Structure 1
Amino acid sequence: MYLEPEEEKILDGEYGEAKALALKAVVRVAEAAGAQRLVRIKHAHVSGISYKNIGDEGLEFLEGLARRGARVSVPATMNPGGFDTVLWPYMGVSRDFMEKQFRIIKALSDMGVRPTLTCTPYLYENIQFGDHVAWSESNAVLYANSVIGARTNRDGGPLALLEAISGRAPLAGLHLDSNRRPQLVIDFREASQIIREKSLYQVAGLLIGKLAGDKVPLVKGLGLTREDVRDVKLLLAAAGATGGMGLVLIDNVSPERYDSTGVEKVSIDPVLVKEVHEEYRDDLSDGVVVLGCPHLSLEEVLDVISFFSERGSAKRRVMLYTSRQVYDSIGGYVEKLRKKNVFVFADTCMVVSPLSGYAGEEVVTDSGKAAFYLKAQGYRVALKTRREALAYAVGEEE
């Protein structure tokens, strides 16, 4: 594999032991992927940082890198951790869990990764069409590739960190235009009315993931546009939960256009949409409403604030998850919401935090991704639309 002179120097240790080790690992991945060379990246986003997910082994790996003097070579951000870094005492977190989670964040911060603790870097970072990045959060990877038109593979958290340290990624997979062409056409035109009227884009996403697997699908007939950020977020996050792809080409949303002549086609009817939805409609006695997977944007949080300003207090607890930046932006509303039985958390989400410790084991959510993972963790889950979930919270089930 071709290496630039600077990359040869990095491997020879001229830029330090840690950077040499990082690039050596990236080169091995590149060789295994059949890459002919590496590509310089603009940004990295590191997932898998919750102590709940990575445990002591992950903590030791990160602290080991930090002790060796590892530092990122490009701007880098991190995914949500296992709790709200301010409100953790209210989340049923043990002292051992708390201490080790903070050690994870410190180790990454010592390496220069900004503790943004959000899964939606695409809402805050200046990533543009054609930029090569190394992201490892599935919904962020899908948004970057599918909506922005950036180039990133669906890397694991450790690889994204090593790519951030070395400043390079293998020029393979979705970094190459030749691998971004549709391999399957999924046509939702027959089911478009029920999806649009009931706002079932998260269910459509679950279907896309199940059907496409690791293939790049071209999705037609959903009627989405680039302005439908909330629905696109929910759709892509759900697709990334049930599927392994890193790119979903969506008509009128994705900036890339490819000829799909001769590509296998699957048509979706309303019956199939209903069948998939039924898989995530458990009967609940008194579920807690959890919203924010992916993290809620400022606009989405303000919409929820407006809803409860009009409807009064929630009869069932509501948990909102967002970035620290959004949390700080809404200021005094946090306490007003708490008095209405609505709790706002930053830095974490319902999937990577010990949810049963502070919210119970029955949940209502509008996120196909959260429904998929929480159900797999043993929770009873009812997947509803955002409107239905909020109505459920105030006792006005639709």
Structure 2
Amino acid sequence: MYLTKEEEKIYDGELGWAYQISMRILVKLGDLYGAKSLIPIESAHISGVSYKTINDAPIEFLKALLESGGRSRVKATTNPSGIDYGNPIFMLLPTDLIEKQRMIIDLYKKIGIEDSLTCTPYYIDPPRSGAHLSWAESSAVIYANSILNAWTNREGGPSALASALIGKTPNYGLHRPENRQFSVLVKVEADVKCEADYGALGIYLGNVLGSRIPLISGLPSEEENFLKQMGAAMATSGSVPMFYLKKSKKEPSEIHEVITVENRDIQNAYENLSSALEKPDLVFIGCPHCSLSEIKSIASLLKGRKVKSDIKLWVCTSRLIREKASDYIKIIEASGGQVICDTCAVVTWLKDLGIDTLMTNSAKTAYYAPLTNRVKVIFSALKDCVKIACIE
């Protein structure tokens, strides 16, 4: 891979170990995927923040980067951690978990990476159309590529961190226009009406598409929240990096495969995502983290109602959205719900918090929670979640 003179100096260690190891990570990645050079990025988004998912190993690496003078050269944000330090319920976790999670967050901050602690960095500072990024959260990657027309590969935590320190990423994959073409036409003939239906659709499509890019037709709504849920689910059951929406009736000539989605496919996805029949301990909303419009919708459903005493209701969002939604937050909290920031049900210790069964409208959570937290799941629409959570 071609390196400029400045990049060669970094590669050879002239700017210190932190930048050298970061450059070598990027060059190794570029060589592996046939990149010819590095390109500048507008921002990086780093996964691998929750102590629950990364454990101890990365802590020493982050310390070494910091001690070697490593600092982010571009705007860089972080994925959710395992704890909301502003909510007393998380102080019930073991002390060592609380302390080590705080250490990880502090190390990232000292390296110059924002403690945004959200999977929706695009609500904080949306990237420009056509901007090159190095993002490591799968739901944010497919959102950026498909909805915002930004350009990013699905990075791992280490490569996104390396890109933050160098300010560049290898020029391969979805940074190349020829790799951003759709190859499959998806015809949605199923009745998809709500955000959970779109999530179920995404789970089905991720399973059948793998990593292929689809052109999707037949969606009755292109509401942002619906597309966010669909995309997050496609990147969960598969590794779909982006999708296109069909805008015209003309059939594209370059398509060689057509996939038709029927009602039974959506129903099967619902059944596969649900593993419980009993009453949930937790009703969880906000994966990916809620937007301002979602918070408003949740508040409107909860206004004048009360959450049952034996069920917890969590609504997860970023601190920025929480600040913007203060009036709606008051309604949610008055009902007995809790608005949680900096974490989510997928990356915290649910069992330690007394959760055995959760109900959610997030297909991504329904897919991952049994694997990451060994809890049972009920997957259903937002209106159903609120109905179950509240006193009749």
Residue 184 in structure 1 maps to residue 184 in structure 2: yes
Cα 1:338/1:268, change in 2 over 3 Å: same
* Number of the residue aligned with 1:237: 232
Identical positions, percent:
33
Distance in 1, Cα, partners of 2:194 & 2:57: 47
Q: Deviations over 1:193-243 (max 9, x none)?
A: x21268610101101111111112222211333xx1111111111111101
Cα 1:36/1:383, change in 2 over 3 Å: same
Distance in 2, Cα, partners of 1:116 & 1:197: 29
* Number of the residue aligned with 2:151: 151
Moved more, 332-341 or 155-164: 332-341
Residue 274 in structure 1 maps to residue 261 in structure 2: no
* Map 1:1-398 → 2, pairs under 5 A: 1-87=1-87, 89-90=89-90, 92-188=92-188, 190-191=189-190, 194-196=191-193, 200-225=197-222, 228-252=223-247, 259=252, 261-287=254-280, 288-310=282-304, 312-315=305-308, 316-331=311-326, 334=329, 337-358=332-353, 360-377=355-372, 378-395=374-391
Distance in 2, Cα, partners of 1:320 & 1:198: 15
Q: Is the 8 A contact 1:224 1:252 kept in 2?
A: no
Q: Deviations over 1:315-356 (max 9, x none)?
A: 232111110112233447656644522111100001001122
Distance in 1, Cα, partners of 2:169 & 2:242: 17
Distance in 2, Cα, partners of 1:340 & 1:89: 17
Deviation, 1:5, is: 2.6
| Partner SS for 1:348 | coil
| Partner SS for 2:92 | coil
Deviation, 1:125, is: 1.3
Deviation, 1:16, is: 3.0
Cα 1:247/1:336, change in 2 over 3 Å: closer
Distance in 1, Cα, partners of 2:131 & 2:331: 41
Deviation, 1:60, is: 1.8
Moved more, 337-346 or 213-222: 337-346
Deviation, 1:303, is: 1.9
- Matching residue's letter, 1:61: F
| Partner SS for 2:289 | strand
- Matching residue's letter, 1:73: R
Q: Is the 8 A contact 1:182 1:263 kept in 2?
A: no
Cα 1:168/1:381, change in 2 over 3 Å: same
* Structure 1: stretches of 5+ with no match in the other structure: none
Q: Deviations over 1:86-124 (max 9, x none)?
A: 225545321100111111011111110000001001112
Distance in 2, Cα, partners of 1:332 & 1:49: 30
Distance in 1, Cα, partners of 2:152 & 2:96: 35
Deviation, 1:68, is: 1.5
The two structures, once aligned, show a CA RMSD in angstroms of 2.1
Distance in 2, Cα, partners of 1:99 & 1:40: 35
Deviation, 1:247, is: 1.3
Cα 1:216/1:88, change in 2 over 3 Å: farther
Deviation, 1:2, is: 1.5
Distance in 1, Cα, partners of 2:106 & 2:151: 29
Q: Is the 8 A contact 2:83 2:90 kept in 1?
A: no
Cα 1:308/1:266, change in 2 over 3 Å: same
Cα 1:197/1:114, change in 2 over 3 Å: closer
Distance in 1, Cα, partners of 2:253 & 2:39: 28
Q: Is the 8 A contact 1:187 1:266 kept in 2?
A: yes
Distance in 1, Cα, partners of 2:168 & 2:241: 19
Distance in 2, Cα, partners of 1:50 & 1:199: 26
- Matching residue's letter, 1:131: A
Q: How many residues end up aligned between the 2 structures?
A: 387
Deviation, 1:308, is: 1.5
Distance in 1, Cα, partners of 2:333 & 2:285: 15
Deviation, 1:25, is: 1.3
